Amino acid sequence: DTAVSQTPKYLVTQMGNDKSIKCEQNLGHDTMYWYKQDSKKFLKIMFSYNNKELIINETVPNRFSPKSPDKAHLNLHINSLELGDSAVYFCASRDRGNTEAFFGQGTRLTVV
């Protein structure tokens, strides 16, 4: 009965590869997010989708492409992975009218 679930939890891949991280929420929320926690531990927003529509895009390289097939899913596809993409990526969701977001357990991406 996990509220926000991400797969995989760990991902190790070589530079130049393309990879995807999947996120699903069963809370019935209509807004979903991707956040990145870098090596300095800052949590920074990358994207936000509301009912499958992109509403926030925080100057993220276009190698990162979010895709929302429906309002319960927000996947993150990354092309041509670079060493600097190594981080923990968190998916989150929020209910309309509420401010607090609920986070998944994170995906630790390591690019070697």
Q: Contact positions toward other proteins, by CB under 8 A?
A: 4, 31, 33, 35, 40-45, 48, 56, 90, 92, 94, 99-106
Q: What is the nearest approach in angstroms of other proteins to the Cβ of residue 72?
A: 17
- Closer to other proteins by CB, 2 or 80: give it: 2
Q: Which is nearer to other proteins, 29 or 85 (CB)?
A: 29
Question: CB-based burial of residue 83 (10 Å sphere; 0-12 exposed, 13-18 middle, 19+ buried)?
Answer: exposed
Min. distance of Cβ 32 from other proteins in angstroms?
12
**Nearest-CA neighbor of 95 among 51, 38, 59?**
51
Rounded to the nearest whole angstrom, what is the least distance from the CB of residue 111 to other proteins in the complex?
Answer: 19
d(CA 16, CA 52): 28
CB 43 within 8 A of CB 90: yes
Nearer Cβ to other proteins, position 14 or 101? 101
Q: How far is CA 14 from CA 7, 48, 110, in A?
A: 18, 27, 8
Closer to other proteins at the Cβ: 42 or 82? Answer: 42
Parallel, antiparallel, or unpaired: how do β-strands 43-50 and 53-57 relate? antiparallel
Measured from the CB of residue 102, what is the shortest distance to other proteins in angstroms? 7
